[in-house]
Amino acid sequence: MGCRDDMVILDEFRGEYVCTETGEVIEERLVDVGKEWRSFEVPSGRERAGTPNTYKVHDMGLHTVIDGTTLIGRRLSELNDMNRIVTNDERKLSRALALANEVISRLPTPGAARLKEEVGLMLRKLVKSGALGRKRLAAFVAACIVCAAENLGMPISVREVVNQCGTTFGDLWDAQMRIRRDLGIAKSRSYDPRTLVLLYAQRAGLPNQVTTLAIRIIEAGRASGTLLSKGPQGVAVAALYVASLLLDLRKTQAAISRDTEVSEVTIRNRYRDVIDGVMIEVTL
């Protein structure tokens, strides 16, 4: 019996072509060569199966994971890992990404996944430009983490990044200048002082009312134009110090400097800018 083409439908669940007019199965046991879909949360939803592409690994996540619980599985897994990294650039990128992912996992930041992706993209550009070498690999990894955190507006401890990467502040500075000025991979950006206030208040153990008042002080200073050209770290810490004085929750500059890793000289200079710019009278 012949069926019109417009009456034939595909039953994806059974893999059959069926005529809707007569119910005749025209063809069966079809192999679906289209996209694979799955959904574990929404019954009616459709999502692509498999992991998405990622910059966190050198092959963008396009690799096969072999179960290594058996002896044959372990041997196959070792051979697979050896075949994944072939060129010298892949080896350098793999080492840099492994160090970056390890360091970022140890940082107390809620946006670690986004930070890893941003750092992975920067490291790929460094390898492509030929600037990433074995001798200064740790410095470039630290510089990429710091630059990526600035791009995403994620306040992190630069000292902790330097210590975790096993490099120095001098090498970090040179690597940042190479990335920003010479290669143009990352642009110079500045943190919002209000974001840093939340981080520094937590480190210094200051209550929420101090944080709220410090943010209001920063907004008033920026509205008057006094604090626009000042460093965000110093402005944030100085605003916290002034707010703690106003709320009679006094904490010494030395203690705040130790907790926030901002020098006492910077705190004193920005303290005077905040007092003069926001018209605050503090009685010591």
The CATH code of the domain that includes 129 is 1.10.472.10
pTM: 0.58
Q: Is residue 178 part of a domain?
A: yes
Q: Which of 141, 161, 182 is the last residue of a domain?
A: 182
Q: Is residue 121 part of a domain?
A: yes
**Same domain (yes/no): 106, 141:** yes
**Same domain (yes/no): 99, 129:** yes
pLDDT of the residue at 86? 63
Contact between 280 and 274 under an 8 Å Cβ cutoff? The reply is: yes
Distance in angstroms (rounded) separating the CA atoms of residues 211 and 34:
54
Q: Is residue 74 part of a domain?
A: no
pLDDT in tens, 95-135: 888 899 899 988 887 778 888 888 888 888 888 888 777 77
Distance in angstroms (rounded) separating the CA atoms of residues 221 and 274:
7
**Same domain (yes/no): 154, 216:** no
Q: Is residue 128 part of a domain?
A: yes
**Same domain (yes/no): 203, 268:** yes
Number of domains in the chain: 3
- Enclosing domain of residue 101: 88-182
Distance in angstroms (rounded) separating the CA atoms of residues 91 and 101:
15
pLDDT of the residue at 39? 53
- Does an H or E element contain 273, and which? helix 264-278
**Same domain (yes/no): 197, 173:** no
**Same domain (yes/no): 176, 198:** no
**Same domain (yes/no): 178, 197:** no
Q: Which of 157, 182, 207 is the last residue of a domain?
A: 182
pLDDT of the residue at 203? 80
Residues of the chain with pLDDT under 70: 1-2, 12-13, 30-52, 55, 58-64, 80-86, 182, 186-191, 226-229, 277, 279-284
- Written in H, E and C, the secondary structure of 205-244 is CCCHHHHHHHHHHHHHHHHHCCCCCCCHHHHHHHHHHHHH
